Amino acid sequence: MNLKILLPDRIFAEKSSVLRIVAESREGAFGLLPQRLDCVLALVPGILIFETAAEGEVCLAVDQGVLVKVGAEVRVSVRNAIGGTDLDALREAVVSEFQDLDEHERNVRDVLTKLEGGFIRRLVAFHHE
């Protein structure tokens, strides 16, 4: 398989001859082998593992995103990714960086929802006057 990991502003990694890929979704870990049928998978913040004959097993911490497999091409589009060799450090990065960011985004969305609600109420009141 050919794997390309895309970030919003650049290509994080591009690997050929990938033997297997393991990613995390809401339903749990998900494995891909070259013969697997085409699929789309929503990724959650977690560890993405891929294996090549040259590098062996490589682990990356990835933020939420999407994995798409079409034929031998696998594209992973995520908001952020961190490479490293220490699995414990990568797991810690997922918890500290990606999940905290999600909490911050939820708080921002809550504030925006309240602002939009107030704006709509004022607009309706103005319209009735």
Per-residue tens of pLDDT for the chain, all 129 residues: 999 999 999 999 999 999 999 999 988 999 999 999 999 999 988 889 999 999 999 999 898 899 999 999 999 999 888 887 677 777 777 777 766 666 666 676 667 777 878 778 787 787 777
Whether 80 and 98 have beta carbons less than 8 Å apart is answered as yes
Among residues 5, 35, 38, the alpha carbon closest in space to that of 19 is found at 35
pTM greater than 0.85: no
CATH superfamily for 2-128 is: F0F1 ATP synthase delta/epsilon subunit, N-terminal (2.60.15.10)
